[in-house]
C-alpha cells in the first residue's frame, strides 16, 4: 500500500542489504526499525524493509508508525524518527457512542486542526486518525515529550482516548478494508506546535472566565452531569473523581461513601458496592490529591471546567523538607545545649544538629554553612577556624546576651554622588590649568601646590 511509503519514505529499504553492499556503502544512520505484533503481550517482530512489511500485512495486526534505531527495544528512548501524529478515538464509552466518520471530521475542523491524512477504522467501531509529517522529525527526548503533550491535547479536543498517547504506541495496521479516508494533506511538526500554543492560550483565557470556587464545586454543571450517572467504561474514573470532589467540598469519608452508593444506583450498569468503597478509601488516603482533577472532570463530562484548591500550610512534621528559619532555630538551640560553644569539624557539627520535629534527620551540610554565614553576618555567633585541611577545627561561639533581631534588609536609597565611573581630578583647578602652569612657570615663581600667589597674578602673559 502507498500508505506505508507515505509514512516511512526512505527510512526502509526495498530488500535487505547483503553484507558486501553494507561494507561498500556503510551502515546508514537514517534507516529505522518498525515493530509488528498480534498481541501486545507477545514478543514483537522487527522489520526494516518494505518487502518484509508487505509480507507481514496478512500475518500481523498492529504496527508502530514511528521508527526506532534499535531492533530489540520499543520504548520512547529508542525512537529515531517521528513520522506521523496518530490519535485513537474509542467509541466504547458513552460520550462517543454512535460516533461516525463525518462527526470525527467535523470535530477536527471545529478544533482548528488541519485535515487528516488518513483515518482507519477499528473492529469496535473506533478510529485511528493520522496526520503525516511532510518531513520526519528527529525523535530527540524533548521533541518526543512535546509530541506526547500535543497528542494528548488533540485527543482531549476531538474526544480521543487520553490514555492512548506516546510516540512509541501500537496502532492497527492500515489495509484496503479498514481505510475509511485518505488525503494528500501533509503537515509539519511545527504547524502542530503552533496549534498547541494557540490552543493553550485560548484554554487559559477560557478557564479564567469559568473558574469556580471549591465551595460551589458540587453545584457546577459538569459535576452535576456526572452525578446523574454514567455508563460502563466511565464508572471507575467518575467514582474516584466524585469522591475527591466530595472530599474537597468538606464531606467526611462516611458521608462520601453514602452519597456515592446512592449515585451508583443511577449508573448503567451499577458498580459493586465493594468497588465504590475502594474508590472512596483511595480518595481519602493521606497522600491522595486534595481535590478532583479538572482535566478528568472535563474529559468525563465533555464540558468546560476548572477550579482551584487552596491548602493550609503543612506543619513541619508533615513536610519532607524544613524551612531555612526552622533549621536556624535548631542551630541556635544546639549551641545553647552545648553551653554556647562547640568545637569540631564542620561536617561533624552539622551531623550532630537534629531536626526538632524528627531527631533522626540531621541538617544538610550546605544548609548548615549558609545558616552559619547568616548568623555571623547578623552578629549572633562568632566563627573561628584553627588548622588547615582535614585537621581543621571549627569553633562556633554563641554571643552572650545578643539582642540582635534579624530584620529584612531594605534597599539603600540611591546616592547621586561619585561612583566607579566618576573621574576624580586630584589637581586643584583641573589638569588643563596645571599643564599651563607647568609649561610657563618654574618652581621659583609664585606657584605652590597648584595655587597662584596674589603677588604673581600680574605676571601672567
Residue 180 has pLDDT above 90, yes or no: yes
Give strand pairing partners of 129.
87, 119
* Residue 63, pLDDT score: 95
Rg (C-alpha) for the chain, rounded Å, is 37
What's the CA gap between 99 and 126, in Å, rounded?
Answer: 8
What's the CA gap between 134 and 249, in Å, rounded?
Answer: 49
Q: What contacts 126, CB < 8 A, 6 or more positions away?
A: 88, 89, 90, 91, 92, 96
- Identify the CA nearest to 264 among candidates 244, 247, 280: 280
Q: What is the average pLDDT across 70-94?
A: 90
* Residue 213, pLDDT score: 57
Output the average pLDDT for the chain. 82
Among 188-192, 246-250, 407-411, 420-424, which is the least confidently predicted range?
420-424
Residue 428 has pLDDT above 70, yes or no: no
For 279-331, how does the pLDDT look when each residue is reduced to its tens digit (9 = 90+)?
999 999 988 888 888 888 888 888 877 765 555 567 777 777 888 889 999 99
Do 195 and 157 form a contact (C-beta atoms < 8 A)? no
Residue 173 has pLDDT above 90, yes or no: yes
For 213-250, how does the pLDDT look when each residue is reduced to its tens digit (9 = 90+)?
556 788 888 899 999 999 888 899 999 999 999 998 88
Q: What is the average pLDDT across 452-457?
A: 39
Q: What angle do CA 50, 53, 54 make, to 5 degrees?
A: 85
- Comparison of pLDDT for 95 and 332, the residue scoring more: 332
* Residue 309, pLDDT score: 56
For 1-57, how does the pLDDT look when each residue is reduced to its tens digit (9 = 90+)?
589 999 999 899 888 765 545 555 555 678 999 999 999 888 999 999 999 999 888
Among 34-48, 186-200, 315-329, 392-406, which is the least confidently predicted range?
392-406
Q: What contacts 84, CB < 8 A, 6 or more positions away?
A: 7, 65, 66, 117, 130, 131, 132, 133
* Residue 195, pLDDT score: 93
Do 136 and 84 form a contact (C-beta atoms < 8 A)? no
What's the CA gap between 86 and 443, in Å, rounded?
Answer: 94
| Coil, strand or helix at 34 | strand
* Residue 419, pLDDT score: 47
pTM, two decimals, is 0.52
Q: What is the CATH number of domain 324-398?
A: 1.10.10
* Residue 432, pLDDT score: 47
What's the CA gap between 338 and 348, in Å, rounded?
Answer: 14
- Comparison of pLDDT for 210 and 32, the residue scoring more: 32
Cell matching residue 158:
476531538
How is domain 2-203 classified at the CATH fold level? Alpha-Beta Plaits (3.30.70)
Cβ burial, residue 128 (10 Å; 0-12/13-18/19+) = buried
Residue 454 has pLDDT above 50, yes or no: no
What's the CA gap between 150 and 190, in Å, rounded?
Answer: 11
Q: What is the average pLDDT across 65-73?
A: 92
Q: What is the average pLDDT across 68-87?
A: 93
For 244-265, how does the pLDDT look when each residue is reduced to its tens digit (9 = 90+)?
999 988 899 999 999 999 999 9
Amino acid at each position: 500500500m502507498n500508505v506505508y511509503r507515505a509514512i516511512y519514505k526512505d527510512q526502509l529499504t526495498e530488500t535487505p542489504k547483503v553484507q558486501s553492499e553494507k561494507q561498500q556503502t556503510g551502515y546508514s544512520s537514517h534507516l529505522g526499525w518498525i515493530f509488528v505484533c498480534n498481541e501486545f503481550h507477545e514478543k514483537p517482530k522487527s522489520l526494516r524493509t518494505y518487502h518484509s512489511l508487505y509480507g507481514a500485512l496478512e500475518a500481523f495486526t498492529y504496527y508502530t508508525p514511528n521508527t526506532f534505531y534499535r531492533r530489540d527495544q520499543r520504548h520512547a528512548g529508542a525512537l529515531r524518527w517521528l513520522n506521523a501524529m496518530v490519535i485513537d478515538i474509542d467509541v466504547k464509552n458513552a460520550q462517543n457512542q454512535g460516533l461516525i466518520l463525518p462527526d470525527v471530521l467535523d470535530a477536527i475542523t471545529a478544533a482548528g486542526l488541519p485535515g487528516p491524512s488518513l483515518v482507519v477504522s477499528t473492529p469496535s467501531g473506533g478510529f485511528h486518525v493520522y496526520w503525516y509529517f511532510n518531513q520526519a522529525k528527529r525523535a530527540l527526548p524533548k521533541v518526543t515529550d512535546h509530541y506526547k503533550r500535543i497528542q494528548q491535547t488533540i485527543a482531549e479536543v476531538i474526544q480521543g482516548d487520553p490514555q492512548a498517547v506516546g510516540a512509541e504506541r501500537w496502532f492497527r495496521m492500515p489495509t484496503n478494508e479498514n481505510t475509511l479516508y485518505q488525503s494528500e494533506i501533509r503537515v509539519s511538526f511545527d504547524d502542530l506546535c503552533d496549534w498547541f500554543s494557540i490552543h493553550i492560550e485560548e484554554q487559559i483565557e477560557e478557564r479564567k472566565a469559568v473558574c469556580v470556587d471549591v465551595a460551589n464545586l458540587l453545584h457546577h454543571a459538569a459535576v452535576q452531569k456526572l452525578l446523574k450517572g454514567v455508563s460502563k467504561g466511565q464508572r471507575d474514573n467518575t467514582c474516584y473523581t466524585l469522591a475527591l470532589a466530595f472530599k474537597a467540598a468538606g464531606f467526611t469519608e462516611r458521608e462520601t461513601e453514602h452519597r456515592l452508593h446512592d449515585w451508583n444506583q443511577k449508573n448503567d450498569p451499577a458498580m459493586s458496592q465493594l468497588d465504590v468503597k475502594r474508590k472512596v478509601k483511595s480518595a481519602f488516603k493521606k497522600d491522595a490529591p486534595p481535590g478532583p482533577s479538572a482535566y478528568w472532570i472535563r474529559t468525563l463530562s465533555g464540558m468546560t471546567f476548572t477550579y482551584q484548591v487552596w491548602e493550609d500550610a503543612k506543619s513541619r512534621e508533615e513536610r519532607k523538607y524544613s524551612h531555612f528559619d526552622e533549621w536556624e532555630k535548631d542551630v541556635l538551640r544546639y549551641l545553647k545545649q552545648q553551653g554556647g560553644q562547640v568545637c569540631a569539624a564542620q561536617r561533624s557539627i552539622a551531623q550532630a544538629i537534629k531536626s526538632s520535629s524528627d531527631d533522626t534527620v540531621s541538617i544538610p551540610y550546605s544548609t548548615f554553612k549558609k545558616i552559619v554565614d547568616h548568623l555571623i553576618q547578623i552578629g549572633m555567633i562568632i566563627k573561628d577556624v584553627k588548622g588547615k585541611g582535614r585537621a581543621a577545627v571549627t569553633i562556633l561561639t554563641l554571643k552572650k546576651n545578643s539582642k540582635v533581631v534579624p530584620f529584612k534588609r531594605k534597599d539603600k536609597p540611591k546616592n547621586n554622588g561619585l561612583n566607579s565611573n566618576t573621574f576624580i581630578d586630584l589637581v586643584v583647578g583641573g589638569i588643563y590649568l596645571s599643564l599651563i602652569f607647568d609649561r610657563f612657570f618654574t618652581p621659583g615663581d609664585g606657584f605652590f601646590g597648584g595655587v597662584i600667589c596674589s603677588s604673581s597674578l600680574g605676571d601672567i602673559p
